[in-house]
Structure 1
C-alpha cells in the first residue's frame, strides 16, 4: 500500500506492527475482522533487542501458525549458560532460539497481511480522534502529510516509545524501566564452539548483565542491559543512573573472555544501538474508551531478564481475544484489563527476582548450588519454562534455603 493511501475507516486500527501489534492483527483478521495495521517504518526494519526466543515466545508463535517458518531461519540452542562473577557457570536446559527482530517481526507482520489485515507504512501515530472521551480513530502522519482514519477500536502497540503513550492519554510514567545496548558481531570461528545463550553477572555490571546470543550465519547478538535504570527523585521525576552503556559493554569484555573475543576480533555488522525497556506491566494505563494498549507499550518486558518478545506476542493475542468476544466498551476493556491483571503477579515475581542484577554475588551462590544439585538445576530450568516461581529461588527465603539445604 502506498504511504499516501489509507482507508477513511476500518473496524480495528492497530498502531505498531511489532510482535504485539502483528499478533493482534493476524488473530483479528483470521476471524474475519476488518483490520488496518500501520507502522512508522517500512518492513523489514531493524529493532534493538536481544533476539532471544524462550518458551513463551515459542508457544505464541505456534498459536499464530508461524513457528515452523521462524524455526527454519533461527539458530536453535539447548540451554542458557548462566555465568557468575567468579567465573563459575551452569547450563540451564530449555527450548531456545535466536532470530534477529528484523526477520522475526517481518514474518509475523507478513502473516497478519496474509490473514487479511491491510498494512500501511510509513505512518506515524500523531493523536487519537475523539468523540467525547472515546477514541474513534487516529491521526497519522506520513511522507505526504497527515491523514485521519476512523475506527471502531484502536489498539496501541507502539513499544517502549513514550510520545505515542502521551499522545494517546495513557502514559503514567515517562521514564523507562531499563536500558540496553546491543550490536551484531560476525565471528564464524567462535560460532563453531559457542552454541549456547550466555548471560553474565559481575560487580562491574552491577544493576544489569551482559549477554551473548549466537544467531544464524555465525552472527552473535552481543549486549549489556541495565535494569532499574532510572531513579525516582523528589517530586516524582526520574533521572537515569550515572551509567554509560558503552563503558558497561567494555567492562563486559574485560570480565568475560568470549565477549572480549567478539569485540576484539569479530566483525561488527552495523552500529551499536541502544533502546529503553518498559517492564512489569507498569507505566501506562491498559485502556481507555475505544482504545486498548498492548505489548511493551503496556510494559510487557520482564524486569529480571529483559525478555519481552514472548510476552509482547502473548499480550497481543490477549487484546485480540478481548475484542473478538464483543460487547460494549466496558465489557471489552474489562476483559482486556482482566487478562493483563492475570499476568501481573508473574511479572511481579520477576520484578522481585531482578534484585540479583544489583547483587551479583547472589549469582555466585545460585550457580554454585546448581552445579551440585540436579534438583536446583531443574528448578532453574522450570523458571525459564515459566513453570517455577523465580521468587522462590531468588528471594531471601529462597537464598537461605539454598545455603542450608
Structure 2
C-alpha cells in the first residue's frame, strides 16, 4: 500500500496530504468520483496515533457512508453507554451507538479503503511546501523522503495534516500555532478488568480541572486510559502528574494500572478544536480535518467530524466548478457546522467547573428525561450547552 517517493507521478488531479480519517475520507470519495488522487503521509501505515479511540454516533454515520462500518465494528469493542462520573462519585450511564478501536487499526482501515477506491498512497513522504504558479495559486507540492525531494503538480491540494501546525505554516494558513487542548494516553492490558469496565468512562474531578480522565475498553482485555486538559490552563499543566493523580483518586483507574501491563509508553498529543485557528482555503488548496479544527471542545471527540469534513472537501472538489465556487462551497459547508462546535465550546465550562457535573448527574439519576437529553447530545440532536446554561441549571431543579 505504501509506495515510495521514487514511484511518485509528476502530476495528479488532487493531492491529499495526510492519510488519517479526514484525508482518507476525502481521497476515497474523490477516487470514487473518478478523480486521479495521490494520497501521502509522513509515516508508513499502519502507524500509531494518540487518541481516546472512541467512536461516537457521528463516526458511525461517516464510516457507514465510506462503506467500512462493518469492517470497523468487526474489530472494535462495542459499547452501549458512556459512563459519566462526577467528582463526588455519582454516575449515570448515557446510552448511545458506541465503540472503541485503536487509531492504528482504524486509520489503516480507512486508508486501505481509499487505496481500494483508486487513490495511490505514498509513504513515508513529507510535505515541505506548496507549489504556486505566477498568480500565487497552489498548483502542487514539494515533497521529500529522506534526502530526496520531488515536485508533484496537482489541480488541487487538500491538507489533512492534523493538529501539528507545521504544514499549515508552510501553506500560509495558520492563524494560531498553539493547540486548543492537550491529552495523554496509554494502553493497559488487564484481563481481570474484562466485564468490569464496559462503558466509555469519562471522569470529572477537581484534581483534573480544566479537563477530565477517561477509560475506554478496547478488545482483548486492553484499555485506553488517559487525561485531557482544555483552555489556557493547559500550558501550565504537567500531564504525567495529572495522569498519576487520576490513577490515585479514581479506584477503577488505580486497579487497572496496578494489576495491568502498560503496553508501551504514555504518549501525548495536541488537539485543535472548534473549527478555529486556521483558514480553510486559499486558491488551489483546502484544509480539512483537525488541521481545520474539527475536534469538539468539552468532549475532545474528533474522529467523526474529521471524517465528515474530509467528505465535505471531496464534495466541493468532485464537480467541475470554478476555483471560487469550490472554495466558497467548502467554506460555507464548514461554517454551517460551526454553530454546533460553538455549543461544545460553551459546554466546555464544565471542565473548569466540575461541580456542575455533580449537579447534572445528581439530577440525571432521578430523571429519565434528562438522560434522554444527554443521549441526544451524543446523537447530535441535542444541545450540550443548554444542559449547563443558567436556564439549563434552573431546569435541573424543575424537571
TM-score by length of 1: 0.97
Establish whether residue 262 from structure 1 lines up as the match of residue 256 from structure 2.
Answer: yes
Query: Which of 360, 363, 371 is 2:357 aligned to?
Result: 363
In the aligned structure 2, how far is the partner of 1:33 from the partner of 1:318?
A: 15
Establish whether residue 167 from structure 1 lines up as the match of residue 170 from structure 2.
Answer: yes
Secondary structure class of the residue paired with 1:321: helix
In the aligned structure 2, how far is the partner of 1:7 from the partner of 1:395?
A: 54
In the aligned structure 2, how far is the partner of 1:31 from the partner of 1:327?
A: 14
In the aligned structure 2, how far is the partner of 1:32 from the partner of 1:325?
A: 10
Secondary structure class of the residue paired with 2:82: strand
In the TM superposition, what is the alpha-carbon distance from 1:256 to its structure 2 partner? 0.8
> What stretches of structure 1 move > 6 A for 4+ residues in a row?
none
Secondary structure class of the residue paired with 1:113: helix
Secondary structure class of the residue paired with 1:217: coil
Q: Residue 296 of structure 2 aligns with which residue?
A: 302
Give the conservation status (yes or no) of the 8 Å contact 1:3–1:143: no
In the TM superposition, what is the alpha-carbon distance from 1:265 to its structure 2 partner? 1.8
Establish whether residue 403 from structure 1 lines up as the match of residue 397 from structure 2.
Answer: yes
Give the conservation status (yes or no) of the 8 Å contact 2:188–2:223: yes
In the TM superposition, what is the alpha-carbon distance from 1:144 to its structure 2 partner? 4.3
Q: After superposition, give the CA deviation of every residue in 1:360-404 in whole Å (9 maximum; x if it has no partner).
A: 000000000000000001000000111101111122221122134
Q: Residue 235 of structure 1 aligns with which residue?
A: none
Give the conservation status (yes or no) of the 8 Å contact 1:178–1:276: yes
Task: Give 1:231-310 correspondences, 5 Å limit.
Answer: 240-310=234-304
Q: After superposition, give the CA deviation of every residue in 1:33-76 in whole Å (9 maximum; x if it has no partner).
A: 10000000000000000000000000000000000000000000
Q: CA RMSD in A?
A: 0.9
Secondary structure class of the residue paired with 1:211: strand
Give the conservation status (yes or no) of the 8 Å contact 1:70–1:104: yes
In the aligned structure 1, how far is the partner of 2:383 from the partner of 2:319?
A: 31
Establish whether residue 224 from structure 1 lines up as the match of residue 218 from structure 2.
Answer: no
Q: After superposition, give the CA deviation of every residue in 1:311-353 in whole Å (9 maximum; x if it has no partner).
A: 0000000000000123111000000000000000000000000
Give the conservation status (yes or no) of the 8 Å contact 1:10–1:150: yes
Q: After superposition, give the CA deviation of every residue in 1:69-93 in whole Å (9 maximum; x if it has no partner).
A: 0000000000000000000100000
In the aligned structure 1, how far is the partner of 2:355 from the partner of 2:149?
A: 53
In the aligned structure 2, how far is the partner of 1:245 from the partner of 1:264?
A: 19
Establish whether residue 192 from structure 1 lines up as the match of residue 186 from structure 2.
Answer: no
Secondary structure class of the residue paired with 1:311: helix
- Number of residue equivalences: 396
Query: Which of 374, 382, 387 is 1:380 aligned to?
Result: 374
In the aligned structure 2, how far is the partner of 1:40 from the partner of 1:198?
A: 33
Give the conservation status (yes or no) of the 8 Å contact 2:5–2:150: no
In the aligned structure 1, how far is the partner of 2:241 from the partner of 2:398?
A: 38
In the TM superposition, what is the alpha-carbon distance from 1:270 to its structure 2 partner? 1.1
Secondary structure class of the residue paired with 1:270: coil
Establish whether residue 154 from structure 1 lines up as the match of residue 164 from structure 2.
Answer: no
Query: Which of 18, 21, 31 is 1:19 aligned to?
Result: 21
Structure 2 unmatched runs, 5+: none
Q: Residue 57 of structure 2 aligns with which residue?
A: 55
Secondary structure class of the residue paired with 1:349: helix
Q: After superposition, give the CA deviation of every residue in 1:128-178 in whole Å (9 maximum; x if it has no partner).
A: 000132100000111241110000000000000111010011000011000
Q: Residue 183 of structure 1 aligns with which residue?
A: 186
Give the conservation status (yes or no) of the 8 Å contact 2:126–2:144: yes
Secondary structure class of the residue paired with 1:78: strand
Q: After superposition, give the CA deviation of every residue in 1:162-197 in whole Å (9 maximum; x if it has no partner).
A: 110100110000110000000000011101321111
In the aligned structure 1, how far is the partner of 2:315 from the partner of 2:31?
A: 12
Secondary structure class of the residue paired with 1:192: coil
Q: Residue 327 of structure 1 aligns with which residue?
A: 321
In the aligned structure 1, how far is the partner of 2:397 from the partner of 2:20?
A: 43
In the aligned structure 2, how far is the partner of 1:351 from the partner of 1:192?
A: 34
Q: After superposition, give the CA deviation of every residue in 1:221-247 in whole Å (9 maximum; x if it has no partner).
A: 00000011x36xxxxxxxx53110011
Give the conservation status (yes or no) of the 8 Å contact 1:46–1:101: yes
Structure 1 unmatched runs, 5+: 232-239
In the TM superposition, what is the alpha-carbon distance from 1:2 to its structure 2 partner? 2.4
